[in-house]
Each structure stands twice: as structure tokens, then as C-alpha cells.
Amino acid sequence: MGLSSYSDLKDSICSWLGRPGDPLIPTGDLIALFEADASRQLRTHYQEISYNITTVNGTDTYALPDDFLAPRELSIATAKPLVVLDYLPPTQLDDTWIWNNAAQPFNYTIEGSNVRFGPTPGGVYTIRVEYWQAIPALSDDNASNWLLAQFPDAYLWGSLAEAELFLGADNSVQRFQLFVQRREAAYAGIKIQDQRYRLGGAALTMRTDTGNP
């Protein structure tokens, strides 16, 4: 059985559980639980997303995307040379820009589902936000994503681990441990492949604070 779509994955989960076509198996929930875990565990180049915020004079707070996990880099794309914004915790941002005279931002903080800049933008700036994206959820309307297309085994083992917790059968503990081991091995393989992608075949070089001999 293939694993190229959301429907294929749901069918495979039931088949591996020995309950093909069983409507009582909440395959959609199991897949969603795995996706939540994968979003916590993985940081790959597939998840590196960017978009632009166009600031408004006197407005310091802007909503982040729903799939935002963590920031990578924020910069003023229109500045020459490029200005990279430094992160500050909310309290430190307030202390640093206590007078908060509107000007070009130099810092930012994350507050809930918003980003706040300091000082408050004093005009129109294009701020490029690079961030880590959560795993795009599979659904009937979104049949595939990068994780299913590239690493279907992670989806299968992770969903089956969640299924064993749901079923709670006598042999579930042993099967759960097996599926978790396979899921973790898949995670490890994804991370190794991503590291190779980033290195591009270059050898690692040891460096010291005093320079290399």
C-alpha cells in the first residue's frame, strides 16, 4: 500500500493495526498528534519560511502567522546595509526603549502570537521575518506535505505509536515501544539528512578563539 497521500496514510494505519477500514480508529486524530510531536522535534530546511511585514508609523505590534514556531532572523530588508534586529525579552525591550521615540527598529520581542518592535517604527519599513514553520497539517483538503512526501515512514511509525496509546490492548506496551523506536530512528535520519544538506558536502573544520595553526 502506498503512502503518498493523507488517505493512503489513514488506510495504512488501520491495516498495520489489523483493523482495515475500522471507522472507530480516529486516524485523523492520531495523525494530528504525531504532527504536533514532529513540530516540537524537527527543525529542518523544509521548515524555513519567510515573509515581509510592512510597518505602519506609530504601530509597534504585528500578528505572527498561525504556523509560526520560532524566529530565525528578523531584518529590515530595505536598509542598506542590511539591519538585523536583535531579540530582547519583553521586559528588557521595555527598559531599553523606555522613552520609545518612534524611529527605525533595532530590536524585537515575541509576545504570544505577536511580534513587537523597539523602538516603535517611525515610518514604513519592510521587515523580513524568517521563521521555523510548524508541520503543515494533513487533511482531506491538504493531501500531502513535505514530511509525508520525503519521509512517509516517520508519519506511519509516529501515528502507529499514538494508535497503540489509544487502543490500550494487552500487547500495546511492547508495540508502542517498537513504534516509538522506529519513529525516533526516523527523526534521527531526517536530522542527519538535513545536516548533510546544509553542509553541502563540505568537511567540518575545527576552529578556536585564537585561530587555527
Q: What is the DSSP letter of 103?
A: B
- Say whether 84 sits in a helix, a strand or coil: strand
Whole-model pTM?
Answer: 0.85
Termini Cα distance of the chain: 56
149: left (phi over 0), alpha (psi -120 to 50) or beta: alpha
pLDDT in tens, the chain (213 residues): 579 999 999 999 999 999 988 889 999 999 999 999 999 999 999 999 999 999 999 999 999 999 999 999 999 998 888 999 999 999 999 999 999 889 999 999 999 999 999 999 999 999 999 999 999 999 999 999 999 999 999 999 999 999 999 988 656 788 899 999 999 999 999 999 999 998 875 555 555 544 444
Who's near 55: CB < 8 A, 6+ residues apart? Answer: 62, 105, 117, 121, 123, 124, 125, 126, 127
Residue 162 contacts residue 33 (beta carbons within 8 Å): yes
Specify the residue for cell string 573544520: 205
In angstroms, rounded to a whole number, what is the distance separating the alpha carbons of residues 77 and 107?
Answer: 14
- Length reported for the chain: 213
